[in-house]
Amino acid sequence: MTAPAHDAPHATRPAADDYGPGVAGFEASGGDWDEIAREAIGEERIVVNMGPQHPSTHGVLRLMLEIDGETVTEARCGIGYLHTGIEKNMEFRTWTQGTTFCTRMDYLAPLYQEAAYCLGTERLLGITDDVPERANVIRVLMMELNRVASHLVCLGTGGNEMGATTIMTLSFTAREEILRMFEAVTGLRMNHAYIRPGGVAQDVPEDFTEHIRELLPSLRKYLAMLGDLMLANPIFKSRLTGVGVLNLSGCFALGITGPVLRSAGHPYDVRKAFPYCGYEDYDFDVPTDTAADCYSRVVLRIEECYQSLRIVEQCMRRLDETQGAPVMVADKKIAWPAQLAVGHDGQGNSLDHIRHIMGTSMEALIHHFKLVTEGFGVPAGQAWQTVEHPRGELGVHLVSDGGTRPYRAHFRDPSFNNLQAVSVMCEGGQVADVVVSVASLDPVLGGVDR
């Protein structure tokens, strides 16, 4: 066959046998794809897969797009590629061991799964009011720092997906400062299992508040730089304005929460609506907007970072006032491990703690052994607990049959619910806007699949 000129689109459909039995294809050369598709296929509508191996799908999300030229006519989500069976596995572990599972769901905001799960467990135990004040202050402090770190990943990866690599490097540099603080407190950068039923695993280091006070000006400087790079950039603003619009009625219909809902004008925040961990005693605002597009969600996430730092400052004062106070409930039948203290090498228990449970008190050794191996019993019943996750309302439904393990643990992950908005936000728009819309939802597939 003689090759046509490059400026003349041409396509031929060879025999099926050329590609094997039952397989048809066509050869094309020159011209635009839409013209070739119209000639060879007979229509412009094409179904393409975006993901699951795609740098813009925030994990392993599969987007099935039906396109007509460059216009998306239908968008569907395919999930389940990261399923780990966390909720089912929690039924075969003690109540305390459950924190090591749920912290791995949304790996960018692990402390929120731990907090929701432990608050639900404490509600079943009837010890919500017995949790020490210092433990609640530490929980709030760690969660708000985690909110900033999570939003920085959203802003950084979203900027990178639109070609602004500087935004990503700046965001991740700022996030590293926060992860360094997490490592100082919990020993881990993520998946901490630090928040436990009854309090937290251990107190913060003695010089922790000093390090946080040194960190806050640096974080504000990074946020200001990100604001200049993103919000003051006319190209960035025009790229996001009017894209991925989801109005208030759409959010209500789909159960959307978090920054996406607040970008449509509704100031719903669990910390204000149903306070937990003493949030009712903190002074902070819930920023909202009415544009309901991708740009407004960027603005809100940056403002939420400033509000979180405002809460952290208040936590610093309360930590100074409660220095030396307990961080775990007094009931030793629940407190696990019993006032854990890190050894001089930075690992394990201190020698004083080991000496007490193994050398001077046989009762303490027996109790420690039974508490660690069997766990504590939780009265039969069920509880529902929600927290304000960086991506929206995170809920946990816990059921106990009176044993030492959960009968059922089920999480309402905000990313799972928010992904329902993909079709509404993308259909009728351009293929290039799909990446922007998904980035504005900030889904984390570890929480979606569980």
pLDDT per position in the chain (450 positions), as tens?
Answer: 444 444 444 444 444 444 445 545 556 566 665 565 555 555 556 878 887 766 666 668 888 888 887 888 888 888 888 888 899 999 999 988 899 998 998 889 999 999 999 999 999 999 999 999 999 999 999 999 999 999 999 999 888 888 888 889 999 999 999 999 998 888 888 898 899 998 898 888 888 888 999 999 999 999 999 998 888 888 888 888 888 888 999 999 999 999 999 999 899 999 999 999 999 999 999 999 988 888 999 999 999 999 999 999 999 999 988 888 888 898 878 886 545 555 555 555 667 767 766 666 777 778 778 888 888 889 999 999 999 999 999 999 999 999 899 999 999 999 999 998 888 888 888 888 888 888 888 888 888 888
pLDDT of residue 342: 55
Q: Is residue 60 part of a domain?
A: no
**One domain, residues 34 and 95:** no
Spatial contact of 105 and 447, defined as CB atoms under 8 Å apart: yes
In a shared domain, residues 378 and 242? yes
Beta bridge partners of 29: 10
| 303 and 440 co-located in one domain | yes
Are 21 and 161 within one domain?
no
In angstroms, the CA 140 to CA 123 distance is 18
Which residues, other chains included, contact 90 with Cβ-Cβ below 8 Å and sequence gap of 6+? 98, 101, 102, 406, 409
Distances (CA, A) of 280 to 159, 186, 273, 283, 322: 34, 26, 9, 8, 18
Is residue 22 situated within a structural domain? yes
Residues 274 and 386 in one domain: yes
Say yes or no: 106 and 185 in one domain.
yes
- 79 part of a folded domain: no
* Same domain? 254 vs 383: yes
215 belongs to a structural domain: yes
Considering the domain architecture, whether residues 16 and 139 belong to the same structural domain is answered as no
Q: How far apart, in Å, are the Cα atoms of 16 and each of 19, 22, 40, 47, 99?
A: 6, 6, 14, 21, 56
Q: What is the CATH number for 237?
A: 1.10.645.10
Contact in structure between 395 and 385 (CB atoms under 8 Å): yes
Q: In what side-by-side order are the strands of the sheet with 381-389?
A: 381-389, 392-400, 408-412
Residue 291 lies in a domain: yes
End-to-end CA distance of the chain: 54
* Co-location of 206 and 273 in the same domain: yes
Q: Is residue 140 domain-shared with residue 251, that is, in the same domain?
A: yes
Domain interval for residue 34 = 1-43
Beta-bridged to residue 78, according to DSSP, are 62
User: Would 59 be classed as within a structural domain?
Assistant: no
Q: What share of the chain is helix, strand, coil (3-state, %, to 5)?
A: 50, 15, 40
Q: Is 174 helix (H, G, I), strand (E, B) or coil?
A: helix
71 lies in some domain: no
Number of domains in the chain: 2
Cβ pair 382, 373 in contact under 8 A: no
| 236/441 Cα distance (integer angstroms) | 17
Predicted local distance difference test score (pLDDT) of residue 126: 92
Judgement on whether residues 36 and 91 belong to the same structural domain of the protein: no
Is 402 in contact with 124 (CB distance < 8 Å)? no
Domain co-membership, 221 together with 167 = yes
Count of CB atoms situated within 10 Å of the CB of 90: 24
Query: What per-residue confidence (pLDDT) applies to 172?
Result: 92
Cα–Cα–Cα angle for 348, 354, 359, rounded to 5 degrees: 160
